[in-house]
Amino acid sequence: MCLGTGKGDFKTLAHFQSGIQLTGEQRGAASGDWNRDGRLDLLVGQNNGVSHLFSNQAAEPGVMVRLKGANKNPWALGAQIRLLGDEGIHGPWQVIQTGAACGSQNGMLQILGSVRGANHIEVAWPDGRQSLHQIDRNRSTQTISID
């Protein structure tokens, strides 16, 4: 497991730091919010072995976002989303995609991590359009449709 340092690189975590220890031959991993608590969980598949689900208990819940694309692209594949916060602070772009690894598919419900004072979601749609959406704090999941 690797952890971003915030300086453009990563550091490797030992199993006792990450909480993830596997033996065998891993072939793919997929992330998604399996228990709908606003935290990214991890499912790891193994060659000739059982899959392992790691439920994220440590992270603060993020903003859950579901995009609805046009008729021929209902999942909005290729779209990019990020949080916008106070003082021009932007979160990293997340790309809506398929095929995460060998036999793996990340969840289509996106979890955007915390950004100080996050109040908007920016979407770059696959057709080149961009849109900005205020976060509705009364909804657990932000559903955004292409206009």
pLDDT in tens, 6-58: 888 999 888 888 878 888 788 788 889 999 899 999 988 888 888 889 999 88
pLDDT at 99: 77
pLDDT greater than 90 at residue 105:
no
Whole-model pTM: value is 0.79
Q: How far, in whole angstroms, is CA 109 from its chain's centroid? A: 8
d(CA 29, CA 52): 9
Comparing C-alpha atoms, which of 26, 25, 24, 54 is closest to residue 41?
54
pLDDT at 115: 75
